[in-house]
Structure 1
Amino acid sequence: MAKRVLKDCYVSIDSNLIHGYCSKLALKIEVDEQEVTTFGSLGWKEVLGGIQSGGLDLDLKQDAAAAALDAIMFPLIGTVVPFEVRISQASVGTSNPKFTGNVLIKEWTPISGGVGDVAEVSVSFPTSGAVTRATS
């Protein structure tokens, strides 16, 4: 089993490369649990998978300069936009699949922190529609 250290993840939101601002990335995929227990289950709970959903969580170093992170993200609030993430910025392949889909930009924090803190923002965007995995 190959082990990896995340050093150069690829992150694109609405065709804007933002991995230069990103210090943490999590793409979550989950499915609703639907209980289907009957008397025939003999006292054991039975479940089936229901509707799938996902979320893209990012920790970003804030930059309010012209054409930088805040200028990219602020106009997207309330819109559904495409995303792409990869384990590495290397070419897409079997050991570096790309995950794509759409996310709702439901939040943005232009300013956050205390005296002496690094200007950072943590965001969580829900996926909208299917998330796909590709190796080519």
Structure 2
Amino acid sequence: MAKIVLRSCDITVNGVNFSDHISSVEINLVKDEIETTNFSGQGRERVAGLKDDSFVLNFQQDFAAGEVDATLFPLWDLETEFTVVVKPTAAAVSASNPSYTGTCILLEYQPLSGDVGDLSETEVTFPTQRTGISRATS
């Protein structure tokens, strides 16, 4: 069984490739838990509810034109929906390099954070809208 060391994730937000500005990535696939327990069983029962997927990206902040803040602030400010795409590597999409795509909205953004001498980083959560995150292998 092959193992993967994350070295070259390919990450785009609203069509901008930020792979060179992101130090960590999470893809969270979540469904609400709907309890359906009734008197006929001996334990709890559940069904899956609505999706509540998200991407969590840790950006190394950059205030230059076309970079992190110039892309994220307008998405937050204008409440615009946009696409996030994450792949384990920069290679073409395949069974061994799937792409994860979601239509997102930016509800919280912290453009500046850190202590003296620290790298300016900002962790951003991108919740998905409606259909959640899709996975493609071709």
TM-score category by the smaller chain?
over 0.9
Cα RMSD over matched residues? 1.0
Match of 2:22 in 1: 22
Q: Does 1:127 align with 2:128?
A: yes
The residue identity in structure 1 corresponding to 2:136 is A
State the alpha-carbon separation in 2 of the partners of residues 107 and 38 from structure 1. Answer: 39
TM-score by length of 2: 0.93
TM-score by length of 1: 0.94
- Deviation by residue 1:4-55 (Cα, 9 ceiling, x = unmatched): 00001111111111111000000101111111111111x2111111111101
State the alpha-carbon separation in 1 of the partners of residues 22 and 73 from structure 2. Answer: 16
User: Contact 1:13–1:81 at 8 Å: present in 2 too?
Assistant: yes
User: Contact 1:55–1:126 at 8 Å: present in 2 too?
Assistant: yes
Match of 2:96 in 1: 95
Shift of 1:82: 0.9
User: Contact 1:101–1:129 at 8 Å: present in 2 too?
Assistant: no
Length, aligned pairs only = 135
Structure 2 gaps of 5+ residues are none
Q: Does 1:11 align with 2:11?
A: yes
Match of 1:64 in 2: 63
Match of 2:75 in 1: 76
Shift of 1:129: 2.0
State the alpha-carbon separation in 2 of the partners of residues 48 and 54 from structure 1. Answer: 17
Structure 1 gaps of 5+ residues are none
- Choose between structure 1 and 2: higher strand proportion: 1
